[in-house]
């Protein structure tokens, strides 16, 4: 987690003052009614703000409607409280809690960085620095296939040697 504890909702700046003679925007009021501010507390003292409205089937990310379209609730919260998300970036949940909409737990990152930080098999593989036999994954010793998968060139060559010997033996026989 980066930064200090997340401020309480009453301490945050909104698009309008908390105590105003102007009636609150019903869309904003409805949005915040779907947030549970008493989520999990982390070691740094911050808390997840859990989205309790509609969620995606795969992953449990919060969904809300904006201009007639379903949009991720964490993106809406980030833009409301921190500003626009830079073009080409995604929002990463630093807390690894998909329904969390706390802007202190959200960070704009590239797709590649978001995948690297994840827990999927491709994320785990992208963090590996050595193959299973201990050879370094560097530019000279790494073969990248059509699908973006990495293979150790040394291991690949060692695996291919007996096959090549058999082919040569057949040709000369």
- Which residues have C-beta within 8 Å of that of residue 85, sequence separation ≥ 6? 75, 78, 79, 91, 108
- The residues near 51 (Cβ < 8 Å, ≥ 6 apart) are 34, 35, 36, 61, 62, 73, 74, 99, 100, 101
Each residue's pLDDT tens digit in the chain (173 positions)?
Answer: 444 444 443 344 444 444 555 666 778 888 899 999 988 888 788 899 999 999 998 889 999 988 888 999 999 999 999 999 999 999 999 999 999 999 999 999 999 898 888 888 878 888 889 999 999 999 999 999 888 788 999 999 999 998 888 888 888 87
Residue 6: per-residue pLDDT: 42
Structural domains of the chain, ranges and CATH numbers in brackets: 1-127 (3.90.75), 128-173 (no CATH)
Q: How many Å apart are CA 67 and CA 69, to the nearest integer?
A: 6
For 24, left (φ over 0), alpha (ψ -120 to 50), or beta? beta
Provide the pLDDT for residue 15.
Answer: 44
Cβ contact 31:70 at 8 Å: no
The predicted structure's pLDDT at residue 83: 93
70, 57 in Cβ contact below 8 A?
no
Strand pairing report for 90-93 and 106-109: antiparallel
């Amino acid at each position: 987690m980066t930064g200090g504890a997340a401020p309480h909702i009453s301490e945050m700046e909104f698009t309008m003052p908390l105590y105003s003679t102007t009636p609150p925007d019903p869309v904003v009021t409805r949005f915040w009614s779907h947030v549970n501010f008493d989520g999990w507390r982390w070691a740094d003292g911050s808390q997840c703000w859990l989205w309790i409205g509609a969620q995606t089937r795969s992953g449990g990310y919060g969904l809300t409607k904006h201009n007639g379209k379903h949009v991720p609730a964490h993106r809406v919260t980030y833009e409301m409280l921190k500003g626009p998300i830079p073009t080409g970036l995604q929002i990463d949940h630093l807390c690894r809690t998909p329904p969390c909409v706390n802007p202190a737990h959200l960070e704009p990152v590239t797709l590649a960085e978001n995948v690297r930080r994840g827990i999927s098999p491709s994320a785990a593989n992208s963090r590996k620095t050595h193959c299973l036999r201990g050879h370094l994954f560097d530019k000279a010793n790494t073969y990248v296939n059509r699908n973006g998968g990495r293979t150790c060139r040394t291991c690949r060559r060692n695996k291919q040697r007996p096959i090549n010997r058999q082919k040569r033996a057949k040709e000369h026989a």
